[in-house]
Amino acid sequence: MSEIVTAAMMVIGDEILSGRTKDRNIGHLADILTAVGIDLKEVRIVPDEEDEIAAAVNALRSRYTYVFTSGGIGPTHDDITADSIAKAFGVPCEHDAAALALLGAHYAKRAMEFTDARKRMARMPRGAVHIDNPVSVAPGFVIGNVHVMAGVPSIFQAMLDNVIPTLRTGTKLLSATVQCPHGEGVIGGPLGDIQKANPETIIGSYPKYGDGKFWTELVVRSRSPEALEVARSAVEAMVAGLSKSG
């Protein structure tokens, strides 16, 4: 039997919603989760508002195996992710002793002042477990099934590398791509028939447009290699047949 493991992502930050910063973490997380056999089922981008963050994480953590967040864990007043997640879990947000020690040692070694702002980065919901940050020390954290990570892409990626080996992964969704020189209007009918005849697969059609012409990428997905191959062959035969008659 295939095991299905699901996930959601929550991107936190006014700067993404204003267009000022273009998100680069959604695509990266999607790629990595697909590679390890976890189905990303939903993404929400929410503003820097405590109630919005808390409501969204509660909606997501009850529905999916895992939740991953990016953003809002720095030292400034607009970094409110730790407080918001604590609120969602109904636990206090407090300075974590181990995180304080880690950050304190880091700044001491560099003869930098351990300011109150920097101490903010050691705050997390009571009971949270660190996610190591090899780039800039200040840890992310895990509480329940929620993984809280930085928004800066290089740090998000480094934290995610540390998280992935700790996750339960599912049976990988396999995929096969068939390039199709025809537009969706031509293939839509027969492709729908192939989908109906192959219920163990998910067949997607992705329209491409350029130079005034439409073409498509047809992607067959399945957790069963056998079912994948049957559907892939049917799609290839369909495309070859259309090209011959066209």
Q: Which residue lies nearer to a second copy by CB, 165 or 212? A: 212
Structure tokens, 222 = 């399945």
* C-alpha distances in Å from residue 113, one per residue of 34, 110, 117, 192, 243: 42, 9, 10, 64, 69
Q: Which residue lies nearer to a second copy by CB, 3 or 78? A: 78
Minimum CB–partner distance for residue 165 and a second copy (Å) = 19
Q: Which residue lies nearer to a second copy by CB, 14 or 132? A: 14
Q: Which residue lies nearer to a second copy by CB, 146 or 201? A: 201
Minimum CB–partner distance for residue 127 and a second copy (Å) = 25
Minimum CB–partner distance for residue 92 and a second copy (Å) = 20
Minimum CB–partner distance for residue 242 and a second copy (Å) = 11
Dihedral sign for Cα 232, 233, 237, 243, please: positive
Sheet with 213-222, edge to edge strand ranges? 174-180, 213-222, 202-210
Minimum CB–partner distance for residue 44 and a second copy (Å) = 5
Phi, psi of 42 (to 5 degrees): -160, 145
Q: Are 12 and 73 in contact (CB under 8 A)?
A: no
Q: Which residue lies nearer to a second copy by CB, 196 or 244? A: 196
Q: Which residue lies nearer to a second copy by CB, 58 or 205? A: 205
Q: Which residue lies nearer to a second copy by CB, 75 or 127? A: 75
Minimum CB–partner distance for residue 79 and a second copy (Å) = 8
